[in-house]
Amino acid sequence: MPKDWYEWHDLYKTEPRLQQRLEIVQEFITHSLNASPDGTIRVVSVCAGDGRDLLGTLKNHPRAKDVYARLVELNPQLVERGRATIESLGLAKQIEFVNGDATIASNYVGAVPADIVIVCGVFGNLTDEAQLSRLLDNLRFLSKQGAFVIWTRGHSQGIAHSDTVRRILSASEFAEVNFKLTATGDMGVGIHRYQGENLPQPKEQQLFVFSGVPNRAR
Ligand SMILES: C[S@@+](CC[C@H](N)C(=O)[O-])C[C@H]1O[C@@H](n2cnc3c(N)ncnc32)[C@H](O)[C@@H]1O
């Protein structure tokens, strides 16, 4: 059992569900980059971990030099590892890893509204459906009209939690572009497009409460 979020990332080495999830997330990031018009592509990643989903995609993507991204992550070791990857890719001028609280709206100022919003490994770490609705509502501050939102949600005890996410998203001006389950069958990955207008000011300073713990991550 991982004792912290840094150790939790080691599970990527052994857990098929996480490996398959990452593959699908990268496929959806690639789709978003390919569909983006010429010019700057703004990306934000909420609770970014070490940024392997976005950075691993940019490594081989022809639009990498168009991407201006802000990744927000609380764990300093993960941020350090992410920054080292950014350096190695030669993207330090365009990609910023903020060691800070991703639940706070001010940590996104200057980087939003984004064209691509990555919210992976987050929805399963909220207390209930009300918190999920709150975060999805606050995505209007992070997302441009037409932005791609890429998300994950694990299933547990036979409950398809990703169905709940899809239901709330489609009721809140997000149109589904694609949805896949991992081959393990218990992890949903979605890509939606925000159809509403961007909210230039956040409705509330705290966008959500992250209450998950690494040894029970869902
Ligand atoms: C399940 S992991 C997902 C990491 C990454 N997005 C991924 O999919 O590989 C959750 C991450 O959220 C981070 N986290 C938890 N609370 C946070 C907060 N308030 N602000 C920023 N990051 C936070 C943890 O440190 C951890 O890296």
Spatial CB neighbours of 79, under 8 Å, sequence gap ≥ 6: 50, 73, 97, 98, 99
Res. 215 pLDDT band, cuts 50 70 90: confident
- The sheet with strand 187-194 has its strands ordered as 95-99, 67-73, 41-46, 114-119, 143-154, 187-194, 174-181
Ligand 1 centroid – CA 38 distance (Å) = 31
Ligand 1 centroid – CA 63 distance (Å) = 26
In whole angstroms, give the CA distance from residue 129 to residue 184: 24
Exposure letters 14-24 (e unless 16+ CB within 10 A, then b): eeebbebbbbb
Average pLDDT over residues 181-209: 97
pLDDT number for residue 7 = 96
Res. 217 pLDDT band, cuts 50 70 90: low
Q: Which of 9, 55, 74, 108 to mutate to test the pocket of ligand 1 (most atoms within 8 A of CB)?
A: 74
Atom of ligand 1 nearest to the CA of 78: 27
Residue nearest to atom 6 of ligand 1 (CA): 48
CA atoms within 13 A on the CB side of 218: 19
In whole angstroms, give the CA distance from residue 146 to residue 118: 14
- Domains and their CATH numbers in the chain: 5-216 (3.40.50.150)
Residue 129 contacts residue 159 (beta carbons within 8 Å)? no
Dump pLDDT digits (tens) for 48-79: 999 999 999 999 999 999 999 999 999 999 99
Ligand 1 centroid – CA 111 distance (Å) = 19
Ligand 1 centroid – CA 12 distance (Å) = 14
pLDDT exceeds cutoff 80 at 22? yes
Atom of ligand 1 nearest to the CA of 214: 1
Average pLDDT, the chain: 96
Ligand 1 centroid – CA 157 distance (Å) = 23
Average pLDDT over residues 19-40: 98
Atom of ligand 1 nearest to the CA of 72: 21
Residue nearest to atom 16 of ligand 1 (CA): 210
Residue 122 contacts residue 134 (beta carbons within 8 Å)? no
pLDDT exceeds cutoff 70 at 152? yes
Query: Smallest Cα–Cα separation from 97: which of 65, 126, 55?
Result: 55
The pocket around ligand 1, CB under 6 angstroms, is made up of: 5, 47-49, 72-75, 78, 101-103, 120-121, 210, 217
